[in-house]
Structure 1
Amino acid sequence: MALTPRQFDPNSDRIVAVTLDPNTITSVDPDEVHEWRIAIYDLVEQNVFAPARVKATGPYALHISIVGNYIVLDVRNPDTYEPIAAHYLSLTPFRRLIRDYFRIRESYYDAIKTGSTYQIETVDMARRGLHNEAAELLRTRLDNKLEMDLNTARRLFTLICAVQPFASRIDERESNLPTVLFVCSMNSVRSPIAAALARRFFPGRLIVRSAGVRSGKADGFVHEVMEEIGIDMSVHTPHTMDELVANHFDLVITLSNDAPEAVERRGLEMGAVEHWPMPDPTETEGNREAVLSAYRTLRDTLQQRVRERLDKLVAAPAKVG
Structure 2
Amino acid sequence: MGTDQAAASTNRLVTVTLDPNTITSINPDEVHEWRIAIYDLLENNSFRPARVRAEGPYALHVSIIGNSIVLDVRHPETFQPIAAHYLSLTPFRRLIRDYFRIRDAYYEAIRSAQPFQIETVDMARRGLHNEAAELLRTRLENKIIIDLNTARRLFTLICAVQPYASRIDEATSALPAVLFVCSMNSVRSPIAAALARQAFPGRVIARSVGVNGGKADQFVHEVMEEVGIDMSVHTPHILDELVANRFDLVITLSEDAPEAVARKGLEAGAIEHWSVADPSLVEGNRDLVLSAYRDLRDSLRRRVGARLEPLVSGGSQSP
Shorter chain as denominator, the TM-score bin is over 0.9
With structure 2 as the length reference, what TM-score do the two structures score?
Answer: 0.96
Cα contact 2:203–2:312 (8 A) shared by 1: yes
Q: Is the 8 A contact 2:34 2:161 kept in 1?
A: yes
Which residue of structure 2 lines up, in the alignment, with residue 178 of structure 1?
A: 176
1:24 matched to which residue of 2?
Answer: 22
Question: Following the alignment from structure 2 to structure 1, what is the Cα–Cα distance between the partners of residues 198 and 161?
Answer: 18
The one of 226, 230, 233 aligned to 2:231: 233
Matches within 5 A, 1:98-177: 98-177=96-175
Equivalent runs, 1:78-97 vs 2, <5 Å: 78-97=76-95
CA RMSD of aligned residues (A): 1.3
The answer (yes or no) to whether the contact 2:25–2:166 under 8 Å persists in 1 is: no
Identify the residue that residue 242 of structure 1 maps to in structure 2: 240
Partner AA of 1:152 in structure 2: T
Specify the alignment match of 2:283 in structure 1. 285
Aligned-partner SS, 1:99: helix
Amino acid at match of 2:135: L
Q: What is the match of residue 203 of structure 1?
A: 201
Q: How many matched pairs?
A: 313
1:267 offset after TM fit, Å?
A: 0.5
Q: CA deviation at 1:8?
A: 8.9
The alpha-carbon deviation at position 104 of structure 1 amounts to 0.1
Taking the aligned partners of 1:316 and 1:21, their CA distance within structure 2 comes to 26
Distance 1:318 1:309, change over 3 A: closer
Structure 1 position 278, deviation (Å): 1.0
Secondary structure of 1:203 counterpart: coil
**TM-score normalised over the length of structure 1:** 0.96
- What is the rounded CA distance, in whole Å, between the counterparts of 1:164 and 1:132 in structure 2? 19
Aligned mates of 1:30, 1:8 — CA distance in 2: 38
SS of residue matched to 2:291:
helix
SS in 2 for 1:78: coil
- Give 1:46's aligned residue: 44
Distance 1:126 1:206 in 2: 42
Match in the other structure for 1:3: none
**2:231 aligned counterpart, secondary structure:** coil
Q: How does 1:205-224 map to 2 (within 5 A)?
A: 205-224=203-222
The answer to whether the 8 A contact 2:182-2:189 is kept is: yes
Query: How many angstroms apart in 2 are the aligned matches of 1:300 and 1:169?
Result: 28
- Amino acid across the alignment from 1:60: Y
In the other structure, the counterpart of 1:4 is none
Displacement after TM superposition at 1:169 (Å): 2.8
CA distance in 2: counterparts of 1:24 and 1:168, whole angstroms: 6
Q: What is the distance in 2 between the residues matched to 1:83 and 1:117? A: 48
Cα deviation for residue 316 of structure 1 reads 2.4
